[in-house]
Amino acid sequence: MLRRIFNARFELLKFAGVGAIAYLVNLGGFNLLVHFPFSPLPDKPVTGSLLAGGASIVVAYFGNRFWTWRDRPRRAMSREISLFFLINGFAIGISSMTLFISRYLLGFNSALADNIAANVIGVGLGTIFRFWSYRIWVFPKA
């Protein structure tokens, strides 16, 4: 297992770089939509999370396709994009579900609680799922 991780280290570093940029888009977008003064969605954090996540998906696709896994063979573009967005949609669902649980089931409704639930716990779980899924299904080896 450690050998496989060592062999994938450059992919992991590139994936982390793209993920960091996409994360900033998600985090900034979420907070702009929900927690800043005059935010358009102050009472709809799950909707804000889904919209910010959608923007981060676009950033992540281009970064991963054209940098992280640019050496991987290109399959049918429609298949690749469909899988990528499906996987990311599921991962954003994970993030939004953790936010939903925190906000509506546990009653935590501060900006800090929302960010921990969606952008720390949810994104962390989603990232593990994404990396595994991208390597297997979206950008497989030849």
Using CB atoms within 10 Å of the CB of residue 9, give its burial: 0 to 12 exposed, 13 to 18 middle, 19+ buried: exposed
Tell me the per-residue pLDDT of 97-135, one tens digit each, with 9 for 90 and over: 999 999 999 999 999 999 999 999 999 999 889 888 878
Contacts of 90 (CB under 8 A, 6+ apart): 129
Mean pLDDT of the chain: 90
Tell me the per-residue pLDDT of 43-87, one tens digit each, with 9 for 90 and over: 999 999 999 999 999 999 999 889 988 887 777 788 888 988 999
In the three-class reduction of DSSP (H, G, I as helix; E, B as strand; rest coil), residue 140 is classed as coil
Instruction: Give the position of tokens 């102050």.
Output: 42
Local confidence band at 35 (pLDDT 50, 70, 90 cut-offs): very high
The C-alpha atoms of residue 69 and residue 135 are separated, in whole angstroms, by 9
Instruction: Give the position of tokens 């998906």.
Output: 57
pTM of the model: 0.83
